[in-house]
């Protein structure tokens, strides 16, 4: 966690803008810094009294040179240093996560599989440190950070150089952290302290991770050192077959004789668990939530200073466009809803009492992934729809195009309209590569003033950097994964993204509220189906947390991808019913929701049943049949046919298409209305791209679907979660989630 800078702290160091303090010690201060490209770093600045010591400078210089040779994905890399500066400094990549010590203290011991995976990754980190000619000498839970893509070993050979903790200069000197030292370190046998000492420390660290307590207890340093040399490690709590491999590994690492310990390469080879690449799935949900909270703190950091551009900006815009960011490291965790997890209690309180208030010419390009975006010779101002019109999201994409088209037709037909707008349409087929190509065509047409779309999350993520570079406003109507919210926040100098809906993670709060408020629902079951990946994992975890933090209890269960095609949901549903649950919530795809609904009906389950937006799909109704009756669902889109304020829109839509509007049609109509109002705010012609984006963020709208408002960063702050219930084989809108009945 960061602390504010103090008056005596510098504002910048070594090309880093300093954002806060990460820690301080006798040697110096560690700051959180940001490079000009946007990358975060931990920047260590040496204090003046040490900087004036030639011997210290020589040691610091040597340590930096060694550390730069460490190459491992599981060891934090050195990104810069100046050992000759007035205030010597060094920077390393910043890991936005808690230490292992904090994770175990707050969330409890790790399960056996997680311990083994952690052991394998850290063994590889130590192997790299040893290959670089270093001995870490302080492998402790505090020096392992849990990041969204794996753990990182930090402080190798540098952090305590001035205090002798990493440079062993004399026989009999005890260095490191008591309780996590090898016997040879505990006795000050300097000549015998080498790479094997790190392996012993790793064993202590893993024992702590597996049991929740250090293997040689706690207390006075002298007592810890004595036990390390003379006593056997305390591995209580690791009984049972599931811990067999862990105990064997720990006893090998904790051999008193350095020659009896395996080297890191042998440890790596002996562990059978595979390393999950770039994921958090190997960690318990509680630890993932803690990691998310740490990562979300980074989302509130000060923005990147704008850089000066020479000449006009892309797409004909003015100079001074945003610098292209050089980081995406937090997106993996943000895909799991980091910001919402950290702010879950606030989100719950905010949504639990909020209800909705009532409110009062075409060109196509790229339909097959190519072709110009409209007629470059027409010269008039244009707005664009960037949608999936032919791929898996075509139903939503087509509804969005229809909604925007209707708003534009009304605008152009209105008497006194200051100018006529042309609609340009790009179809990306739901393919991210095509989405980037479509975005490039639209961005390259200076007549296009704003884009509504894309339809899907992957396409939106691919298109956003292109629109960002061109300063072309992008109004995202249907993308809801939290990766897009994180993208905007992490860009921090983003000037183009406007989300017109809450992210998917916000759907967790009304679901948790219903579990708490439903009559007779005192012990709900929450089934997470990983067929939808990290999004269902984070949503289910947040629901469990919100219920428990507000005095309730849940019975959570998880099924892996493919359960529908293999053993089915019968066993897990039976186990949950046998546990005495009185309500059921399912987080997964519509096919899974249908199968679960049939299982609950067959078992005669009488309690309330809930699910979320992915199941708000005809597939759920078709496959579940009568078992779908009575299910309650939460969604970010509404049914305008059920809203009095949307009567004119629904009539106009039916006149054009012969049927009622589908999901996202009303929201797209509102997004276009918001855009058109902003384009006509001035007395002259429409504003250019760069001026339009801040106007959109300052706008509010009482739309046909809901009321809209936005943060200065372009994040959605209006209303927008709705409840549906299945009645007589159809989804029936109940109203905003704040008024479920």
Q: From CA 194, how far away is CA 134, in angstroms rounded?
A: 9
By the 10 Å C-beta count (0-12 exposed, 13-18 middle, 19+ buried), 302 is classed as exposed
Quick one: CA torsion of 172, 178, 182, 187, rounded to 10 degrees?
20
DSSP string over 348-395? HHHHHT--------EEEE-TTS-S-SS-TTT-S-EEEEEE-SSSTTHH
The conformational region for residue 364 under phi > 0 = left, psi -120 to 50 = alpha, else beta, is beta
Half-sphere exposure of 50 (CA within 13 A, CB side): 24
Q: Are strands 609-612 and 632-635 parallel, antiparallel or unpaired?
A: parallel
Tokens read off for 661: 């509007």
Q: What angle do CA 725, 730, 734 make, to 5 degrees?
A: 30
**Which residue has 């000492």 as its token pair?**
197
The DSSP element (H or E) to which 102 belongs, if any, is: helix 100-107
Q: From CA 698, how far away is CA 709, in angstroms rounded?
A: 8
Tokens read off for 463: 């298109």
Tokens read off for 300: 């509130």
Q: How many CB atoms lie within 10 A of CB 234?
A: 15
Tokens read off for 592: 């899974």
CA distances from 233 to 197, 205, 248, 369, 515 (A): 16, 12, 13, 64, 45
CA 527, 532, 537, 539 torsion: positive or negative? negative
Residue 670 catalytic? no
Nearest to 503 by CA among 613, 609, 396, 617: 613
Q: Are strands 78-82 and 89-93 parallel, antiparallel or unpaired?
A: antiparallel
Say how far residue 94 (Cα) sits from the centre of its chain.
Answer: 16
- Please list the residues that pair with 427 across neighbouring strands: 387
- Residues 6+ away with beta carbon under 8 Å from 176: 137, 138, 140, 165, 185, 201
Quick one: CA torsion of 459, 463, 464, 469, rounded to 10 degrees?
170
Q: From CA 740, how far away is CA 725, in angstroms rounded?
A: 10
Q: Are strands 40-46 and 89-93 parallel, antiparallel or unpaired?
A: antiparallel
Task: State the catalytic residue, choosing from 9, 138, 239, 482.
Answer: 138
Nearest to 531 by CA among 608, 459, 593: 593
Name the H helices within 476-553.
Answer: 482-491, 508-517, 534-549
The DSSP element (H or E) to which 525 belongs, if any, is: strand 524-529
Say how far residue 647 (Cα) sits from the centre of its chain.
Answer: 39
Q: From CA 731, how far away is CA 710, in angstroms rounded?
A: 29
> What is the chain's length?
741
The DSSP element (H or E) to which 17 belongs, if any, is: strand 16-24
CA distances from 649 to 86, 465, 703, 722 (A): 68, 33, 10, 19
CA distances from 18 to 8, 320, 497 (A): 13, 23, 27
By the 10 Å C-beta count (0-12 exposed, 13-18 middle, 19+ buried), 418 is classed as exposed
Tokens read off for 669: 């109509």
Q: How many CB atoms lie within 10 A of CB 433?
A: 13
Q: Which residues are catalytic?
A: 138
């Amino acid at each position: 966690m960061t602390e504010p800078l103090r008056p005596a702290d510098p504002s910048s160091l070594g090309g880093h803008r300093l954002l806060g303090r990460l820690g301080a010690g006798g040697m110096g201060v560690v700051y959180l810094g940001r490079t000009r490209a946007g990358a975060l770093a931990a920047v260590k600045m040496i204090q003046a009294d040490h900087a004036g010591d030639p011997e210290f400078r020589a040691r610091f210089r040597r340590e930096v040179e060694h550390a730069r040779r460490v190459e491992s994905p599981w060891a934090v890399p050195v990104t810069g240093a100046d050992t000759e500066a007035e205030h010597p400094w060094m920077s390393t990549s910043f890991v936005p996560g808690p230490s292992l010590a904090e994770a175990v203290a707050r969330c409890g011991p790790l399960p056996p599989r997680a311990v083994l995976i952690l052991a394998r990754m850290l063994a590889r980190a130590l192997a790299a440190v040893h290959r670089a000619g270093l001995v870490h000498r302080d492998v402790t839970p505090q020096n392992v950070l849990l990041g969204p893509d794996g753990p990182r070993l930090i402080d190798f050979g540098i952090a305590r150089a001035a205090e002798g903790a990493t440079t062993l200069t004399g026989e009999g000197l005890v260095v490191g952290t008591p309780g996590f030292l090898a016997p040879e370190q505990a006795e000050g046998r300097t000549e015998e302290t080498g790479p094997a000492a790190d392996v012993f420390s790793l064993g202590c660290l893993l024992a702590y991770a597996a049991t929740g307590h250090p293997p040689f207890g706690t207390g006075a340093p002298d007592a810890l050192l004595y036990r390390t040399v003379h006593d056997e490690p305390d591995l209580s709590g690791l009984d049972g077959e599931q811990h067999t491999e862990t105990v064997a590994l720990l006893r090998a690492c904790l051999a008193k004789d350095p020659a009896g310990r395996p080297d890191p390469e042998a440890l790596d080879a002996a562990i059978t668990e595979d390393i999950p690449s770039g994921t958090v799935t190997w960690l318990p949900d509680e630890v993932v939530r803690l990691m998310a909270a740490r990562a979300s703190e980074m989302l509130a950091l000060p923005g990147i200073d704008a850089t000066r551009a020479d000449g006009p900006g892309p797409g004909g815009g003015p100079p001074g466009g945003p610098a292209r960011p050089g980081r995406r490291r937090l997106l993996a965790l943000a895909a799991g809803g980091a910001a919402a997890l950290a702010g879950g209690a606030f989100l719950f309180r905010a949504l639990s009492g909020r209800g909705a208030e009532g409110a009062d010419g075409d060109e196509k390009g790229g339909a097959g992934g190519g072709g110009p975006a409209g007629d470059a010779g027409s010269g008039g101002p244009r707005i664009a729809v960037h949608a999936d019109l032919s791929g898996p999201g075509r139903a939503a994409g087509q509804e969005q195009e229809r909604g925007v088209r209707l708003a534009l037709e009304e605008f152009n037909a209105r008497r006194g309209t200051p100018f006529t707008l042309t609609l340009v349409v790009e179809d990306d087929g739901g393919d991210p590569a095509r989405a980037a190509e479509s975005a490039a065509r639209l961005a390259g047409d200076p007549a296009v003033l704003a884009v509504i779309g894309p339809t899907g999350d992957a396409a939106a993520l691919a298109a956003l950097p292109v629109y960002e570079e061109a300063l072309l406003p992008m109004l995202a109507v249907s993308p809801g994964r939290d990766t897009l919210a994180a993208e905007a926040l992490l860009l921090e100098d983003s000037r183009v993204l406007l989300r017109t809906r809450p992210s998917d993670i916000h759907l967790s709060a009304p679901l948790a509220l219903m579990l708490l408020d439903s009559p007779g629902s005192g012990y709900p079951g929450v089934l997470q189906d990983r067929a939808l990946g990290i999004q269902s994992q984070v949503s289910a975890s947040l629901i469990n947390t919100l219920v428990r933090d507000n005095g309730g209890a849940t019975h959570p269960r998880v099924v892996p991808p493919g359960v529908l095609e293999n053993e089915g949901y019968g066993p897990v549903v039976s186990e949950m019913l046998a546990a005495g649950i009185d309500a059921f919530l399912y987080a997964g795809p519509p096919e899974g929701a249908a199968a679960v609904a049939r299982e609950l009906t067959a078992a005669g389950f009488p309690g309330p049943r809930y699910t979320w937006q992915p199941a708000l799909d005809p597939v759920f109704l078709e496959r579940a049949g009568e078992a779908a009756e009575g299910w309650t669902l939460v969604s970010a889109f509404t049914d305008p046919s059920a809203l009095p304020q949307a009567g004119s829109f629904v009539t106009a839509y039916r006149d054009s298409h012969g049927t009622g509007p589908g999901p996202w049609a009303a929201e797209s109509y509102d997004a276009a209305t918001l855009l058109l109002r902003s384009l006509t705010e001035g007395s002259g012609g429409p504003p250019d791209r760069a001026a339009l984006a801040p106007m959109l963020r300052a706008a509010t709208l009482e739309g046909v679907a809901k009321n809209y408002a936005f943060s200065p960063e372009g994040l959605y702050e209006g209303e927008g979660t709705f409840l549906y219930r299945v009645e007589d084989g159809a989804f029936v809108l109940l109203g905003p989630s704040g008024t479920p009945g």
